[in-house]
Amino acid sequence: MFSLKDKIAVITGGGSGIGKAIATLFAKQGAIVHIMELNTDAARETVEEIQQEGGIAHHHFLNVTDQQAVINVFSKIEKIDILVNNAGIAHIGNIENTTEAEFDRIYNVNIKGAYNCLYAVIPLMNQHGKGVILNMSSIASHVGITDRFAYSMSKGAVFAMSLSIARDYLHHNIRCNSISPARVHTPFVDGFIAKNYPDNQAEVFEKLSKSQPIGRMAQPAEVATLALYLCSDEAGFITGCDYPIDGGFITLNN
């Protein structure tokens, strides 16, 4: 079950965190993985890890905010069975302390970046008569989270774009879904805590962990497992859906 043998999967932001976990798992399940990254060193390390385990992977330097660059890279791959729109950046602040420059940066990466990849991949999937798209949204697209104005805006857009793609390409044999994680324990989280709370890192980590009713953060591998299911043939009847993976945050956090 859940075999991706010989399927070609493009994963943006696949060099670290959730993207790396997805790339690694997809390769183990037989996919030919293409990692799109700004961080070439991280992408190369992930590719090497995959190859050491007997998988097939390639890395491409890509700025997802550059539409022509996205089109060029995707076109060289030619056939893409799976796109995982994972590249994204975070931001902390309410509307009063979110500058125009910060707002534009979040828009360009999280919204325009996802749009650029969708714009580039749909013609290729149409050409081959099928495809699967998975967009990385967030619980912030469902509930109000303090000091996440711009980030929530961007993930709400990703959620809405997922529904539009699912509807518009329902009869083109292209499925599109999204995942909405709560906090996931990635190197980004550790770096954020170390930078902003150097004197009480353990306390802050515990607090962030317990903000999920289940009492901990998700692991990247857990998100990757859900991604694998949604991109596999076993999920062939699923499209236009969002899947929270949140330790009960949305429904139990009251």
Q: Which active-site residues does the annotation give?
A: 151
As a whole number of angstroms, the distance between CA 104 and CA 84 comes to: 23
What region does 128 belong to: left with phi over 0, alpha with psi -120 to 50, or beta?
Answer: alpha
Q: Do the Cβ atoms of 15 and 45 come closer than 8 Å?
A: yes
As a whole number of angstroms, the distance between CA 29 and CA 211 comes to: 33
DSSP string, 58-104: EEEE--TT-HHHHHHHHHHH---SEEEE-------B-GGG--HHHHH
As a whole number of angstroms, the distance between CA 129 and CA 162 comes to: 19
As a whole number of angstroms, the distance between CA 244 and CA 180 comes to: 4
Residue whose C-alpha is closest to residue 9's, from 43, 27, 33: 33
